[in-house]
Amino acid sequence: MTEFPGYPFVSRWFAHSGRAGLRQHYLDEGAGQPVLFLHGNPSWSYLWRRPVLALREEFRCIAPDHIGMGLSDKPGPDRYPYDLAARVDDLDALTEHLITAGGAPERGWTLVLHDWGGPIGMAWARRHPDRVARLVVLNTAAFPHPRGERVRPLLRLPLRVLRDTRLGARLFLRHNLFARGATWRPLGVRRRMPAAVRSAFLAPYDRPEHRVAIQRFVHDIPLRPRDRSWPELQAAGAALARFADLPVLIAWGLGDPVFDRAVLNEWRRRFPAVVPRLYRGAGHYLLEDAHDDLVPAIRTFLRTSPLPGA
């Protein structure tokens, strides 16, 4: 397997029997209370390399690559639905496997959420509220965007082009522009990525047929009630109140052009007792820009936040 800098982990795969045996890649490092890391688009479990290294001596760190992403299988759209409900079903199947066959506990799970990991993770949590013990929220949402269809003017036209035009399809599939752009300043990061790290983020998406999931994630963004994944997202947002008494860490890169202050303020409204950690010099990939402070903060949060009933 290709070596990725700072990613010295054992790769594991789970074959989804309900999806014609599609294999989902995941990390399962360490022992102890389970910490479930859920990435978004266009990243993969490589995003979590630093916190997994820092936590695996004390916690069981589980970091899947969504189907079509990272080192997981990359089916065409004729073999996989590429919508939010499918992502939640996949996570359900993987976690059930880890509980029934992998020795993971039924309760005491910490969710670490970034980008699409928020909707996926909180929709899963809505199905299994008793399993969730703590939340770590990093530049994500688990509710419809507070601006609705009125996304920031700077993003409205690019999003329309990417979602609705042939040019958008070319930019996604032929030029890999979305994944490349996420590694550039100031779109995804505020600090320049080292070339080897940037190559690692892009490595799974080395040819057009391996970029379908990146495109489909953008197509699936629920902006209005008629969008396919709107009901799942709406239900996840409505369920957030069930987790209001849990320990929650919110950390935010303020240079994120998509998950902006409006999204952050919605988290603040939902969890008013939480004081977020704000990083002015960090963008969307805040674990790349602010890892020196953020990774120790996550470790301290997990060490000092007792599990319910403990």
Query: How much is the pLDDT for 281?
Result: 95
Average pLDDT over residues 237-243: 97
Lowest mean pLDDT among 51-60, 218-227, 264-273: 218-227
- Give mean pLDDT, residues 6-33: 97
Average pLDDT for 245-259: 96
Residue 250 is encoded by which pair of tokens?
């919110």
Q: Are 122 and 113 in contact (CB under 8 A)?
A: yes
Look at residue 1 in the predicted model and tell me its pLDDT: 44
Average pLDDT over residues 63-85: 98
Give me the residue label for tokens 């790349």.
Answer: 288
pLDDT score of 161: 67
Question: Dihedrals φ, ψ of 196, to 5°?
Answer: -70, -35
Taking 70 as the threshold, does the pLDDT of residue 282 lie above it?
Answer: yes
pLDDT of residue 273: 97
Give the pLDDT score at 267. 98
pLDDT(3) > 90: no
Give which of 43, 60, 42 is closest to 51, Cα–Cα: 60
Q: 41-72, pLDDT tens digit by residue?
A: 999 999 999 999 999 999 999 999 999 999 99
Q: What pLDDT score does 166 carry?
A: 79
The mean pLDDT value for 15-38 works out to: 97
Reply yes or no on whether the pLDDT at 35 is more than 70: yes
Q: Which whole number is the average pLDDT over 223-250? A: 95
Top mean pLDDT of 9-13, 150-154, 257-261 is at: 9-13
Provide, rounded to the nearest whole percent, the portion of the chain with pLDDT above 90: 85
Which uninterrupted H or E stretch holds 219? helix 212-219
pLDDT in tens, 183-218: 999 989 999 999 999 999 999 999 999 999 999 999
Asked if 194 contacts 212 with a C-beta cutoff of 8 angstroms, the reply is no
Q: What is the chain's mean pLDDT, rounded?
A: 93
- For range 125-150, the mean pLDDT: 92
Confidence of residue 154 (pLDDT cuts 50, 70, 90): very low
39: left (phi over 0), alpha (psi -120 to 50) or beta: beta
Mean pLDDT, range 240-247, rounded to an integer:
96
Residue with tokens 């890999």: 176
Strands (E), the chain: 12-16, 22-29, 34-38, 60-64, 109-115, 132-140, 248-253, 277-279
158-190 pLDDT tens trace: 666 677 777 778 888 888 999 999 999 998 999
Average pLDDT of the segment spanning 98-115: 98
